[in-house]
Chain A
Amino acid sequence: MMPFVRSLLCLCLCVLALSGISVRAQDYPARPVKIIVPFGAGGPADLYARIVAQHLSDALKESFVVDDRPGAGAVIGTSEVAKAAPDGYTLLMMSNTHTVNETILPNKSYKLMRDLVPVAPVNFSDLVMVVHPSVPAKTLTEFIALAKARPGALNYASSGTGTPYHMAGELFKALSGTDIVHIPYRGSGEARNAVIGGHVQMMIDAVTTMAPNVEAGQVRALGVSGQSRSSVLPDVPTIAEAGVPGYEATIWLGLMAPKGTPDAIVQKLNVEIEKVLKRDDIKQDWAKQGATPLLMSPAEFGEYINKDIEKWAKLIARSGAKLR
């Protein structure tokens, strides 16, 4: 037993020694960096993490490895990063699922802004509000009028309780003063099926996945959710311009690191990620996929996250009982 314990101690010391050396920013990264994605493989977070990881590996001459740790609405993978050594070798791909979780999951083992530090945002993707063609409303104002005339009679589908899609719907209800019943589904595929089949009247979904169904006339697009129109559906007005001023709900992604990660490393990563996001090929590819690069310094990104946490907390407090 003793030799085993001794060699284990040796190993621990070696690891400690290594991590001690590598904290210096100019040497970073000296070994592979792990980006933990707390969502399922093949989802947008996973795909964009892989694209960013690929470019970072090329630029910093050290491999950035994507590690999917899905489960429990991103809590499993996120707690792992929160507990990881703050040496810059473990990063987290996060999204606004995290900012919503801050309010709806108060008992999780970490707190986003207490246990993690912002590194850099990656991108945001627009959503689109669609209705089944049998709904008489042709525009957003007509739809709001319809919902107000029949409070509690219309339904909207989402990919699940507490998801950004659900939040986007609740935000719409709150800002437009309408009462529409939330019907949660397991994943956005099932929800889309319900709207195309006419079982549910409305849903808010990713603009890229919905665009073909809009073009085929299976659903009618009433508005996109960003501050400006989407390159994927340029003829569709934003919800804000079509009748709900101040409305904005997108899906955004960003990178965070464990609290205590040296500032120099955070800054270095931020600069490198910005270089990736400014590439022309990235801009063009992502535009086709309905995603727009987001550029911010770590401090600005921190502010952005805080504001988002606050935005959803307020909304959930307002419609609280209905969420849970």
Chain B
Amino acid sequence: MTGTAIADLIHGFGVALQPHNFLACLIGVLMGNIVGVLPGMGVMAAISILLPLTFAMPPVAAILMLAGIYYGAQYGGAICSILLNLPCHPPHAVTCLDGYPMTKQGKGGTALGITMLGSFVGASFGITQMIFFAPILVSIALKFGPAEVCSLMLLGLLAGSTLARGSALKGIAMTTFGLLLGIFGTDVTTGLERFTFGFPELADGIEIVGLALGLFGIAEFMKSVNKVEPLKAGYAKVRLRDMRPSRTDLKMSAFPIMRGTLIGSLCSLIPGTGPTIASFVAYATEKKVSKTPERFGRGAIEGVAAPESSTHSSVQGDFIPTMSLGIPGDSVMALLLAALTIQGITPGPQLISQHPDIFWGLIASFWVGNILLVFLNVPMIGLWVKLLTIPYKYLYPSALFFVCIGVYSTNNSLFQVGETLVIGVLGYVLLVLGFHPAPILLGFVLGPRFEENFRRAMLLSRGDLKVFIERPISAAFLTVCVILLLGQLYVRWRSRGRVVTVDAIAVEES
């Protein structure tokens, strides 16, 4: 099997390197990268704008271009998160936690360098698993029913509630607040609207792009707009040699990149678990295994390396269920499937045998595209960092301008721009009071998944709670939850005095 896979892959490279296919891939990653850099301009917007263009293209070129936009945007998305604290796509929100502090310390270039490296490693692993393990992975993924996903989400919530630095109580409060925000909108099970206050615009819930940009970007902007001077001094110090990650940086990031990659590839397989959840889980894991968790949130390089490689490995891995089952992992994948359908090709289990050109050409183009992206982005790091030398009074208003356009473009709705501004003000108030926004996003992402799958599991078991312990995968997740909780309590009980002082410092600092 391995032998044929390699032969097929070589055939795929032949397809991907044909001049017009190569050009389509190049245009795709370039467009994706550019759109990704703009705050809030989602990959959804980019793909839906360019979708009609591909109608006239041959199928292989069309799909290579659209896929290129997808992963190209992920590369670009990290840039604003790290340099401006503006998470352009929700998965990058966690990157802000340590990326932006690194920028403030004048190490923005290093963070970007590590991001590019981690992204490439993550993506390469995602592609490799797609080539060799797709059938096995798909059969594992299909074992995940509502009970399993529900237990996994519970584990994610527990593990992630320690995401932010500072008081544990405040972290839990923010996670709960995020869960509450996740309830807004139409209930999937009954079709009833909750907390919409009569606005039809809220019927689909709060827009995650708006929430991420509001809580991180706008709140941070409001916080720092009055004290421009000290920040500016930090930005100006960036020099060329600071842009390359040092040997120590590389050493510190190696394991986080590997762990992040693995987590990302696992997350991509479980239905309904896209890159956003992958990056959150990777960050939380990193903080858990770290010997110095207190460094997180203050510019720890691991906090940039792990979530970024996880995002990219998950982005590539997302193509596995999409291509081999015809089941999209998220809305962007659904768009890609639609693009193939328009070309008269239906993705599904027979795609590989019926259209080997598309399948293997696409896989080979992933590598071509990722290498192109590294070449495009590494020389550009210097240029991106130069962005920061633009005076604050010009830089931030224009960034906010793009935020508004980006949020508007997600649903062509002005309401959502207002929503983002309201969330921004709220985020600012929370930030001033020492509440960190990251757990809000975690609760918001995981909460609805937990609730929906819990109720689905209950519907399927006709109300029998035993289903969560009778199904082995679900039982395993729940066991880990219990161990985690007991461990946490034990550590607390052992070192009551110390924890209090650490918390006090953290609160004061934020």
Question: What is the CB-to-nearest-CB distance from A156 to chain B, in angstroms, rounded to a whole number?
Answer: 11
Residue contact A193 to B271, C-beta cutoff 8 Å: yes
Contacting residues, chain A, for B337 (C-beta < 8 A): 209
Give CA–CA (A108, B338) in the complex, Å.
30
Contacting residues, chain B, for A104 (C-beta < 8 A): 191
Looking across the interface, which residue of chain B has its beta carbon closest to that of A77?
B412
Residue contact B351 to A108, C-beta cutoff 8 Å: no
Which residues, 381 to 438 on B, are CB-close (under 8 Å) to A? 411-413
Contact of B348 among A41, A200, A213 (CB under 8 A): A213
B334: Cβ under 8 A from any A Cβ = yes
Contact of B200 among A41, A72, A194 (CB under 8 A): A72
Give CA–CA (A160, B190) in the complex, Å.
9
Contact of B327 among A47, A108, A193 (CB under 8 A): A193
B143: Cβ under 8 A from any A Cβ = yes
Looking across the interface, which residue of chain B has its beta carbon closest to that of A191?
B327
Residue contact A75 to B338, C-beta cutoff 8 Å: no
Contacting residues, chain A, for B367 (C-beta < 8 A): none
Residue contact A213 to B203, C-beta cutoff 8 Å: no
Looking across the interface, which residue of chain B has its beta carbon closest to that of A194?
B145
A161: Cβ under 8 A from any B Cβ = yes
Residue contact A71 to B350, C-beta cutoff 8 Å: no
Which residues, 265 to 294 on A, are CB-close (under 8 Å) to B? 285, 288-289
Residue contact A68 to B346, C-beta cutoff 8 Å: no
A302-324 CB mask vs B (1 if < 8 Å, else 0) is: 00000000000000000000011
Contacting residues, chain A, for B137 (C-beta < 8 A): none
Contacting residues, chain B, for A70 (C-beta < 8 A): 204, 411-412
Residue contact A43 to B338, C-beta cutoff 8 Å: yes
A205-242 CB mask vs B (1 if < 8 Å, else 0) is: 00011011101101000000000000000000000000
Please judge, given known A-B contacts A68-B412, A189-B334, whether A288 and B327 are in contact too, CB under 8 Å: no
A173: Cβ under 8 A from any B Cβ = no
Residue contact A285 to B344, C-beta cutoff 8 Å: yes
Binds A, one of B12-20, B44-52, B112-120, B301-309: B44-52
B133-150 CB mask vs A (1 if < 8 Å, else 0) is: 000000001111110000
Contacting residues, chain A, for B452 (C-beta < 8 A): 186
Contacting residues, chain B, for A185 (C-beta < 8 A): 188, 456
Please judge, given known A-B contacts A42-B335, A43-B338, A215-B350, whether A76 and B189 are in contact too, CB under 8 Å: no
Give CA–CA (A203, B333) in the complex, Å.
21
B192: Cβ under 8 A from any A Cβ = yes
A64-75 CB mask vs B (1 if < 8 Å, else 0) is: 000111111101
Question: What is the CB-to-nearest-CB distance from A222 to chain B, in angstroms, rounded to a whole number?
Answer: 19
Residue contact B326 to A213, C-beta cutoff 8 Å: yes
Contact of B460 among A186, A192, A193, A200 (CB under 8 A): A200
Question: What is the CB-to-nearest-CB distance from A25 to chain B, in angstroms, rounded to a whole number?
Answer: 29
Please judge, given known A-B contacts A41-B335, A69-B413, A196-B142, whether A216 and B203 are in contact too, CB under 8 Å: no
Residue contact A208 to B191, C-beta cutoff 8 Å: no
Which residues, 260 to 311 on B, are CB-close (under 8 Å) to A? 271-272
Looking across the interface, which residue of chain A has its beta carbon closest to that of B344?
A288
Question: What is the CB-to-nearest-CB distance from A109 to chain B, in angstroms, rounded to a whole number?
Answer: 8
Give CA–CA (A192, B337) in the complex, Å.
14
Please judge, given known A-B contacts A41-B335, A213-B325, A213-B349, whether A108 and B342 are in contact too, CB under 8 Å: no
Contacting residues, chain A, for B142 (C-beta < 8 A): 193, 196-198
Looking across the interface, which residue of chain A has its beta carbon closest to that of B329?
A189
Residue contact B48 to A41, C-beta cutoff 8 Å: yes
Residue contact A212 to B350, C-beta cutoff 8 Å: yes
A40: Cβ under 8 A from any B Cβ = yes
Which of B47, B204, B349, B350 counts the most A-chain CB atoms under 10 A from its CB? B349
Residue contact B350 to A216, C-beta cutoff 8 Å: yes
B309-347 CB mask vs A (1 if < 8 Å, else 0) is: 000000000000100011111010111011101101011
Contacting residues, chain A, for B460 (C-beta < 8 A): 155, 183, 199-200
Contacting residues, chain A, for B459 (C-beta < 8 A): 155, 181, 183
Which residues, 75 to 113 on A, are CB-close (under 8 Å) to B? 75-76, 79, 104, 108-109
Contacting residues, chain A, for B47 (C-beta < 8 A): 41-42
Give CA–CA (A70, B44) in the complex, Å.
13
Which residues, 151 to 200 on A, are CB-close (under 8 Å) to B? 155, 160-162, 181, 183-187, 189-190, 192-194, 196-200
Give CA–CA (A130, B342) in the complex, Å.
23
B105: Cβ under 8 A from any A Cβ = no
Contacting residues, chain A, for B339 (C-beta < 8 A): 42
Looking across the interface, which residue of chain A has its beta carbon closest to that of B456?
A183
Question: What is the CB-to-nearest-CB distance from A125 to chain B, in angstroms, rounded to a whole number?
Answer: 11
Residue contact B327 to A69, C-beta cutoff 8 Å: no
A50: Cβ under 8 A from any B Cβ = yes
Residue contact A216 to B341, C-beta cutoff 8 Å: no
Give CA–CA (A198, B143) in the complex, Å.
8
Contacting residues, chain A, for B143 (C-beta < 8 A): 197
Question: What is the CB-to-nearest-CB distance from A253 to chain B, in angstroms, rounded to a whole number?
Answer: 15
Contacting residues, chain A, for B8 (C-beta < 8 A): none
Question: What is the CB-to-nearest-CB distance from B274 to chain A, in angstroms, rounded to a whole number?
Answer: 12
Give CA–CA (A192, B321) in the complex, Å.
11
Contacting residues, chain B, for A200 (C-beta < 8 A): 460
Contact of B203 among A72, A190, A212 (CB under 8 A): A72
Looking across the interface, which residue of chain A has its beta carbon closest to that of B44?
A41
Contacting residues, chain A, for B331 (C-beta < 8 A): 40
16 other A-B residue contacts (CB within 8 Å) besides A75-B200, A189-B271:
A40-B331, A41-B51, A42-B334, A42-B338, A73-B186, A76-B413, A155-B460, A181-B459, A183-B459, A186-B188, A190-B271, A190-B327, A197-B142, A212-B326, A213-B349, A215-B349
What are 30 contact pairs spanning A and B, CB under 8 A?
A41-B335, A42-B48, A42-B335, A42-B339, A46-B48, A47-B338, A69-B411, A69-B412, A71-B201, A71-B203, A73-B203, A76-B203, A79-B200, A161-B188, A161-B190, A161-B191, A185-B188, A189-B334, A192-B325, A192-B326, A193-B271, A193-B327, A194-B145, A196-B142, A198-B142, A211-B346, A212-B326, A216-B350, A218-B325, A289-B344
The 10 closest A-B pairs by CB, nearest first: A212-B348, A161-B191, A72-B203, A41-B48, A216-B349, A197-B142, A199-B145, A42-B335, A72-B200, A42-B338
